[in-house]
Amino acid sequence: MPTDEVAIIGAGLSGLCLALALHQQGIKATIYESRSSPLNIGGAVMLSPNALKILDALDVYKDVRVRGYNFDLLEMVKVTGELLERYEFGGVEKYGYQANRCYRTELIDVILSKVKSLGIPVEFGQKYTRVVEEIDDQVVWESSDGAHHTTSFLVGADGIHSSVRKYLYPDNEPKFIGMAGITAVAPASKVTYSHGKIDKPLTIMSEDKGAFVIAPQRADASEMFFGKQKRVDEKDRAGWDKFLADKQELINFLQEDAEAFGEAAVSASSNIIPEKLNVWPFYVIPPLERWASANRRVVILGDAAHAIPPSAGQGINQAFEDVYIFSLLLAASKIRGVNFADALTFWQTYRQNRINKILELNKQIDLRRMPKDKRPVDLHGVAVEQKEFDLQWLYEPDFKAEVENWVKSAEV
């Protein structure tokens, strides 16, 4: 007999958050992580109300809020400081939560501490290798030490290069979109900006050079994060490591054309903290037909299921939505007898619809950020039409109520 209901593969943000969400529903899970400690990729992430309400429901928001930098808006400005457009990333009155820019390590620390305090087991140094078989209501899977584990469900929260996804799609590989984010950090005290205080993320636009992003980070705004996108060829893992190791080349790129973006870009790129330089190669997983195996014992979520381009900053926020809604539906199928296959169909359809809308939002943002000659086009090569930002659909849903509505309709 299985000892656990759910084996979660990966102690990244999706896996850790899933463990909390399942625990809240009274479902027993163990997390298996191949590394000896949590993965620490990338500096900080931006959390929006759709994700923060989930972290709040899981009782970790109060600790996240004090660790990160809280803000409401992003502003797109000209080099002259003239405001072009505002983009809401949060707001207490309208959406219940300010946005929060938090170091990934801090976020993981908060969630992992909660996981541990609840006694949820996390097995570091345990690598998933393959599914052995799915039999009736169980799945047998193997870890790299050769041990076989039997659980009711196996959930791949193992990131963009997911091994669990290979079980569903043996030939699927993440697609590189030819761009990488090159980012850095400077002490805020060294960054000058004569058009006011940089107290919110700014995108400084240049007609022909594109966009330069700069944002305060750390709870006390003592750091200034900044970066630009660069066209690069795809590399293997060693190639990306080498690319990141060449700090001077990255600094040169960030300093190149800095004048075109004004004094904030010049002062920030002259005061880079070398050890905080980062490279984010943009890989995506194009929409997959299904996020679960035919027997529905194996499920993928987060980046493993739908890694998306970064423009709208929704990568991790969308992963939290997957996790929370999945846990509510699994509980509904166990406690209220809702058909699990139908619940999975509802889950994937609901989630994919929202991801499709994010992809549209990404295009709208790219349209504004890209130099004129590189602006996005639709499938027919026609330039994407610029629309006003509408973010209510993104931040406002009450996920619990939406699941409840569906469960009620499924119970009838």
Ligand X SMILES: Cc1cc2nc3c(=O)[nH]c(=O)nc-3n(C[C@H](O)[C@H](O)[C@H](O)COP(=O)(O)OP(=O)(O)OC[C@H]3O[C@@H](n4cnc5c(N)ncnc54)[C@H](O)[C@@H]3O)c2cc1C
Rounded to whole angstroms, the Cα distance separating 367 from 117 reads 45
Rounded to whole angstroms, the Cα distance separating 324 from 319 reads 9
Contact 115, 31 (CB under 8 A): yes
User: Least distance (Å) from ligand X to the CB of residue 175?
Assistant: 15
Rounded to whole angstroms, the Cα distance separating 227 from 350 reads 33
Does 159 help bind ligand X (rule: CB under 6 A)?
A: yes
For ligand X, give the closer residue by CB, 186 or 312: 312
Does 151 help bind ligand X (rule: CB under 6 A)?
A: no
For ligand X, give the closer residue by CB, 145 or 289: 145
Question: Interacting stretch for ligand X, rule CB under 6 A, among 13-21, 255-263, 330-338, 382-390?
Answer: 13-21
Among 37, 40, 41, 374, binds ligand X (CB under 6 A): 41
Rounded to whole angstroms, the Cα distance separating 223 from 188 reads 5
Does 39 help bind ligand X (rule: CB under 6 A)?
A: yes
DSSP 282-340: EEE-PPPS-SB-TTSSEEE-THHHH---STTS-HHHHHHHHHHHHHHHHHHHHHS---H
Among 7, 8, 13, 198, binds ligand X (CB under 6 A): 13
Give the closest residue to 73 by CA, choosing from 63, 61, 85, 56.
85
Does 90 help bind ligand X (rule: CB under 6 A)?
A: no
Question: Interacting stretch for ligand X, rule CB under 6 A, among 212-220, 230-238, 288-296, 313-321?
Answer: 313-321
Sign of the four-CA dihedral 123, 127, 132, 138: positive
For ligand X, give the closer residue by CB, 140 or 266: 140
Report the Cα 391 to chain-centroid distance in Å: 17
Among 6, 7, 8, 15, binds ligand X (CB under 6 A): 15
Question: Interacting stretch for ligand X, rule CB under 6 A, among 88-96, 157-165, 285-293, 385-393?
Answer: 157-165
Contact 286, 175 (CB under 8 A): yes
User: Least distance (Å) from ligand X to the CB of residue 163?
Assistant: 4
For ligand X, give the closer residue by CB, 71 or 406: 71
- Which residues have CB under 8 Å from 333's CB, separation 6+? 339, 340, 343
Does 300 help bind ligand X (rule: CB under 6 A)?
A: no
Does 108 help bind ligand X (rule: CB under 6 A)?
A: no
Among 35, 195, 230, 375, binds ligand X (CB under 6 A): 35
Rounded to whole angstroms, the Cα distance separating 394 from 396 reads 6
> Hey, which residues between 126 and 145 contact ligand X (CB under 6 A)?
127-128
Question: Interacting stretch for ligand X, rule CB under 6 A, among 62-70, 192-200, 243-251, 309-317?
Answer: 309-317
Among 316, 329, 331, 332, binds ligand X (CB under 6 A): 316
Contact 114, 59 (CB under 8 A): yes
Does 68 help bind ligand X (rule: CB under 6 A)?
A: no
| Cα 115–Cα 116–Cα 122 angle in degrees, nearest 5 | 80
Token pair in block for residue 245 = 């190791």
- In the bound complex, which residue of the shown chain has the CB atom lying closest to ligand X? 12
Among 8, 10, 58, 366, binds ligand X (CB under 6 A): 10
Rounded to whole angstroms, the Cα distance separating 55 from 320 reads 8
Site string for ligand X, 247-286 (x = CB under 6 A): -------------------------------x-x------
Contact 351, 325 (CB under 8 A): yes
Question: Which residue ranges make up the site for ligand X (CB under 6 A)?
Answer: 9-15, 32-35, 39, 41-42, 45-46, 127-128, 157-159, 163, 278, 280, 302-304, 313-317, 319
